[in-house]
Structure 1
Amino acid sequence: MTHTIPDMGTVALAVTDGMLHFELSQAYEVFASAPAGVTVPWYDVTVCGPVAVRVGRFHLEPDLGLDRLQHADTVIVPGWADIDEEPPAGLVDAVRAAHEAGARVASLCTGAFVLAAAGLLDGKRATTHWAHTDVLAARYPRVEVDPDVLYVDNGSVLTSAGKAAAMDLCLHLVRLDHGSSIANAVARRLVVPPHRAGGQAQFVTTPVPAQDDHPLAALFPWILERLDQPLTVEDLARQARMSSRHLGRHFKSVTGTTPLQWLLTQRIRHAQELLETTDDSIDTIAAATGMGTATTLRRHFNRTIGVPPDTYRRTFREEHPKLA
């Protein structure tokens, strides 16, 4: 059986001894509680594992056994600490059985080692924390390990890099299931950035700073309030009170990309939200997102999302009639 996106209602967190509590906690925070004001049916979350497990310095009593993973629509495998050892066979077998039963399986950080051991990453692109990508590639040569991305979406199998990237992947799953508007609401509740594309570089030397602790903290909201305007790099540099070259260096450090690419991503995400939540024409949305013309919007949208705006809207309305 293959689950379709609107059916992704049950989420199982697969745990065993040695799991990393940070990634586990992130997943639970995203999927266990709907943000205020969201009325769509939310996820039913269970923690599946042996009778008792040790997660970091904490003891955890799972709700159900690992055999129940195969009844979930989505299985999340958090990171686990001891990558020098093979993942527990019981966990590997249960994750493989869940995927064979039709579950969407996602790993956070070093949880990718579990998916690789289960054979779910053979012949696929995958990632994990940058510090462990060489180990993953050497141990599982049939996996195409990409050390330079935040997460990889292969449809029914997804992998993420570490820490903040694990949150990015969880929000990506919510976006797939419920759309950008609701994913953004989850991000606001958790006070994290609403979207970072999976292909964005991992922040190896410079992690994402706290919201109020980097030179661009005031610039980002200023930009988001003016997405309908034809902003240039010079406009952004002037607002940030720095040179264009200095701005580019800070953008690369904070976001992993250039100012114009980051701006284009925000315009596309805003267009997605308008397509999902309004009946505005493509021309109107093009103006509201600073694209200028419907032709420009269609070109960038199709290249970024993979489908034209009209198709995206039609598909979203068909899969999410409750939001139409």
Structure 2
Amino acid sequence: MQSRTVNPQKENVKITETNLTSVVEFVLLGFSEIPRLHWFLFGTFSVIYLVILLGNGIIILIMRAESTLQTPMYFFISNFSFLEIRYVSVTLPRMLVDLWTQKGSISILACAAQMCFFLILGATECFLLAVMAYDHYVAICNPLHYPLVMSHEVCVRLGVGSWVIGMPVQVGQTCQIFSLPFCESNQINHFFCDIPNAQFDETVVYMFASLLITIPFMLILGSCSRMISTVLKLPSSTGRTKAFSTCSSHLIVVILFYGSVTVIVLHNCKPKSNQYDGTDKLLSLFYTILTPMLNPVICSLPNKDVSEALRKFLPKLIAIPDT
């Protein structure tokens, strides 16, 4: 098969007679359409990243240090905080580097790795939210058997299962996408590797994505329905208030995460001409940055036990040792 002369402006793309391109590297366009705001965005996202690391990191430290928080609910909250740190670290540091250098080139291997980890952690978040909903369901609907049902061994299995259950599917999808040729351009109109220009069956990809999103969501919906039904039957208004406060913060996180992901999936199901017009980047910022940043506030700080532990822990954290 003979190759034609490469255009200087496409030095990273080898064009063959089949009109397909053998991509050597991609170019993440990111926020290149607003170059005047690059430094403002760099400063803003740097602060947000530090807030996410500190907020979720402190939550993890508190729940490991305080014996009163060694319960299944806080075990899953600390897992979720750790997940949020990993989740945002897959995309945000790379975006900060691109804003600093004002270059968006990324090798195909790095792009595949970023996409694979992003998909795996996204699936983990879906299943971990479902596990947390199940924990709330057992605590509210079957409180007498809660210590037996949610034993430490069970919690560890549920936690590990949430982390690994989506790995085979997402690794397989990534390998499928990057084993196929790419067409037209090596430019990606996003701030992380989301591949719109690969020649693959998008129906299969969206089918697996929908399953990984829908199954946990249905489990969450079923758990919430049973919890609401049980709470409404409680004779004490104090008991109802406490029960609602237990699951309300979790529901807010679920709505934020699943709402934005669902909108993106529906948006990407539109014809090609309507895709990647900037809406994806805005929605992706919402669930990749905003949710991890708000997680400590939504999930933990309104809780009285966590607030009390935080008041005890922070003075120890910032205390200056005597010289």
TM range (shorter): under 0.3
Which structure has more helix as a fraction of its residues? 2
- Greater Cα radius of gyration, structure 1 or 2: 2
Q: Which is strand-richer, 1 or 2?
A: 1
With normalisation by structure 2, the TM-score equals: 0.24
> What TM-score comes out, normalization by structure 1 length?
0.24
Q: Which has the higher contact order (CA 8 A, sep 6+)?
A: 2
